[in-house]
Structure 1
Amino acid sequence: MVISASNRDSAAYPMQSLFVPFPFVCFTLALATDIAFWQSGNVMWQNFSAWLLFAGLVFGALAIIAGLMDLMRPRTRPLRPTLLSALLYLIILGLAFANNLIHAGDGWTAVVPYGLMLSAVTFILCLVAATVSGRKYARLAWRI
């Protein structure tokens, strides 16, 4: 495919799109490991949850940095997230940070009930953010 000068601006790929899926996967798996801890009481699942939340936060911070860099690139204008998507993403990272602080505790009360509830709310907001973002990309695909 040859990219001409007229459609070159729409061909840029935002760097933030490389990092955004990682926190969603980590936070979803953190919910799964919280449920496993709730059902089994095995401390290994609590440790997995804490590490998954930490990894999601690290990749979330990288996504924010990449997103700020994308704001400076005029070629990524058509693929920038909407304001609602960006706000949802920041709320998700804030909830995950609070959840990580809760998971820093020891034993049963580090996960049940507040850590499990925060993981569930974070997961639901991840689904909402993916839906909101997906609508914009679907509209862009039909714009051709």
Structure 2
Amino acid sequence: MHAILLAFPFPLFLGALLSDFAYRSSFQVQWFNFSSWLIAGGLVGGGFAMLWALVKLIRSGAARRKRAAIYFVVLLVMWVLGLVNALVHAKDAFAIMPEALYLSSVTTALALVAAWIGYSGYQSREAA
């Protein structure tokens, strides 16, 4: 279940970043709207992944606690910056540049790091 939840933030935040690039080059307001909705979706998926990571952090043993803590902190920072990005996108469309582009870039990079950490620790447990 955690792998499914972790699959949402990166592509949604990446789509928001690409929409911000499209808005910057064309100033068509619809790209701004796409970005706002993609960020909202990334926050929902990232929030559930962060909740799952918190449970994993609480339940993990001492040997795996450092990795789980780093993973949770990356997800938390990604979510908080995504929330700030959503608040920036709540302003008037012409007032969001270049701040929205910078926030979308950092949020996308953090989502990629979180996915990298989360999926590198994922192990398939198949019955032999």
Counterpart Cα distance in 2 of 1:100 and 1:134: 26
Task: Give the corresponding residue for 1:82.
Answer: 68
Instruction: After the TM superposition, list the runs of 4 or more consecutive aligned residues in structure 1 that deviate by more than 6 angstroms.
Output: 71-74
Q: Which runs of 5+ in 1 are unaligned?
A: 1-14
For the pair shown, which has the larger CA radius of gyration, 1 or 2?
Answer: 1
Q: 1:95 Cα shift?
A: 0.4
- When the two structures are superposed, what TM-score results if normalisation uses the length of structure 2? 0.79
Q: 1:68 Cα shift?
A: 4.8
**In the superposition, relative to structure 1, how do residues 84 and 35 fare at CA in structure 2: closer, same or farther (>3 Å)?**
same
- When the two structures are superposed, what TM-score results if normalisation uses the length of structure 1? 0.71
Q: Which runs of 5+ in 2 are unaligned?
A: none
Task: Give the corresponding residue for 2:99.
Answer: 114
Aligned ranges 1:60-99 → 2 under 5 Å = 60-68=46-54, 82-99=68-85
Task: Give the corresponding residue for 1:34.
Answer: 20
Counterpart Cα distance in 2 of 1:69 and 1:84: 14
**Partner secondary structure for residue 105 of structure 1:** coil
Equivalent in 28, 35, 44 of residue 58 of structure 1:
44
Q: 1:122 Cα shift?
A: 1.0
Q: 1:40 Cα shift?
A: 0.6
Counterpart Cα distance in 2 of 1:123 and 1:68: 21
Task: Give the corresponding residue for 1:136.
Answer: 121
Counterpart Cα distance in 2 of 1:83 and 1:125: 15
- Count the aligned residue pairs: 120
**Partner secondary structure for residue 121 of structure 2:** helix
Root-mean-square deviation (CA, aligned residues, Å) is 2.6
Task: Give the corresponding residue for 1:126.
Answer: 111
**In the superposition, relative to structure 1, how do residues 89 and 100 fare at CA in structure 2: closer, same or farther (>3 Å)?**
same
Q: Identity percentage over the alignment? A: 37
Counterpart Cα distance in 1 of 2:115 and 2:41: 19
Cα-to-partner distance string for 1:3-45 (whole Å, 9 max, x where unaligned): xxxxxxxxxxxx3222111111111110000000001100000
Counterpart Cα distance in 2 of 1:83 and 1:70: 9
